[in-house]
Copies of this chain bind each other. A is one copy, B any other.
Amino acid sequence: MRPADVSDQASQRAILARIRFVLVETSLSGNIGAVARAMKNMGLSRLALVRPKAGAQGFADADALARASGADDLLQAATVHEDLAEALAGCRLVLGSSARLRSLEWPRLDAAAGGERLVAEAVHGDVALVLGRERTGLSNDELALCHFLVQIPTNPDFSSLNVAAAAQVFAYEVRRHLFSGGDGAGALLGVDDSRPDLATADEMDGFHEHLMRTLIRIDYADAEQCATLSRRLRRLFHRARPDRTEVNILRGILAKMTPRAGGAD
């Protein structure tokens, strides 16, 4: 789904600027840095931290900066909050990431649907994704502040993603839905058929005639085998869809294969 009014760049930027990632009591500053990098990679910028467990240097220490790898600006601009409710101020939609199956019955979305929902609602106002503690995730009280629990489908025997890895998947899903409309057409980029200079059918015919003539001359095939062999080779080169330059290379090779014939080919 891609709202009609998010197709221009200004709207897309505005939407990205309304999507907030909120980290609750993250223990390792390196993870905060890695989340910043993952966000910036996907064009997100608003990072909020609830009670980060920082050392003496604060959360933006050497580990954080190393893992941020150039997303220092997001660390600089990050807001720090005493509790989650404060960090969520102004948000019309809040999704809470959770690996664990909860006894608590709560509406759930998978990561793809979560990314779609964040984009769709950011058209109208601020939205947030909340990521919990490395070991214990979000408490039930914190989850209660979320409209939906979002889950990344995982191997049930090893289901706990690193917090920055989870942030990367969610940020990726946001961008996927914002810019491609999810899974519409155009997943295949730069495929063969967009190349402007594909060899034409008659050029390919000329090549195939040249090829078969050469194969007979070098004694690879006799005239009888030619029909079957030619079909096989046509099928092979059909799949390749050569452009004009490539056909010229191939014909240059064929010409070199039979130099004694006087180069009439």
Contacts and interface: CB of A to CB of B under 8 A. Distances in A.
A189 B117 CA distance: 13
A58 interface: no
A100 to B, nearest CB: 14
Contacts of A189: 108-110, 151, 188, 191
Interface stretch (A46-54, A78-86, A136-144, A161-169): A161-169
Contact of A239 (B70, B165, B241, B257): B241
A229 B154 CA distance: 43
Interface in A237-254: 237, 239-242, 245-246, 249, 252-253
A183 interface: yes
Contact of A111 (B105, B172, B182, B242): B172
Interface stretch (A19-27, A36-44, A87-95, A119-127): A36-44
Given A240-B239, A256-B219, A42 B176 contact: no
B191 A41 contact: no
A183 B182 contact: yes
Contact of A161 (B168, B190, B220): B168
A264 interface: no
A95 to B, nearest CB: 13
A112 interface: yes
Contacts of A112: 176, 183, 187
Contact of A153 (B34, B110, B180, B245): B180
A69 B162 contact: yes
11 contacts: A43-B155, A110-B188, A113-B188, A116-B187, A168-B168, A182-B183, A184-B185, A215-B253, A218-B259, A220-B252, A236-B246
Given A37-B161, A169-B172, A215-B256, 19 more contacts: A34-B162, A37-B162, A41-B154, A41-B160, A43-B155, A67-B162, A69-B162, A105-B190, A106-B190, A107-B192, A111-B172, A113-B187, A116-B187, A169-B169, A183-B185, A192-B239, A218-B257, A232-B249, A257-B257
- Which 8 residue pairs spanning A and B have beta carbons closest together? A183-B183, A240-B240, A187-B187, A43-B155, A113-B187, A108-B189, A220-B256, A108-B190
